[in-house]
């Protein structure tokens, strides 16, 4: 069964993108997001995941792209969101760090698929559909 994930594209006023560093697994950087829960819409899942991972309260604005990693039966929706508030947040078992980064200084390590989604968003590609191949 295909898993569906939603990942946020959130820019600040300086056009820096919000990234989070996972506190588990490869401990790499990504954009905030996660899997849809049963009966949950993509927008609601995105808003919930961003708040859980960063403390930012957001509203989903528009679908930017669809990314399929068919080799692992995975589908990711990249959704732009706007910050409308903020709650207290501190590092936890899921997310170790949160920060905004300029396009030319993205944090590392970062999975190539994440970098592709971010590059598409920075270059304002909207409505894109990509089939991602196994990374080398």
How many DSSP H helices and E strands does the chain contain? Answer: 2, 8
Cβ atoms of 62 and 42 within 8 Å: the answer is no
- Give the bridge partners for 29, in sequence order: 21, 110
| Catalytic (active site) residue 97 | yes
Interatomic CA distance for residues 27 and 23, integer angstroms: 5
Tokens of 86: 């903020």
Cis bond leading into 80, ω under 30°?
no
Kindly state the helix (H) or strand (E) to which residue 114 belongs, with its residue range: helix 112-122
The single residue of 37, 94, 97, 123 carrying the catalytic annotation is 97
Determine the Cα–Cα distance for residues 123 and 70; give it in Å rounded to an integer.
24
Which residues are designated catalytic? Answer: 97
């Amino acid at each position: 069964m295909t898993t569906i994930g939603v990942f946020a594209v959130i820019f600040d006023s300086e056009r820096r993108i919000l990234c989070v560093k996972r506190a588990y697994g490869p401990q790499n950087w990504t954009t905030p997001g996660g899997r849809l829960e049963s009966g949950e819409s993509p927008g609601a899942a995105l808003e919930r995941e961003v708040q859980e991972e960063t403390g930012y309260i957001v509203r989903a604005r528009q679908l930017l792209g669809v990314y399929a990693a068919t080799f692992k039966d995975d589908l990711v929706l990249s959704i732009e969101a706007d910050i409308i508030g903020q709650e207290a947040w501190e590092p936890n078992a899921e997310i170790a760090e949160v920060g905004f980064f300029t396009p030319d200084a993205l944090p590392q390590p970062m999975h190539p698929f994440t970098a592709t989604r971010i590059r598409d968003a920075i270059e304002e590609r909207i409505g894109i559909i990509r089939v991602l191949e196994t990374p080398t």
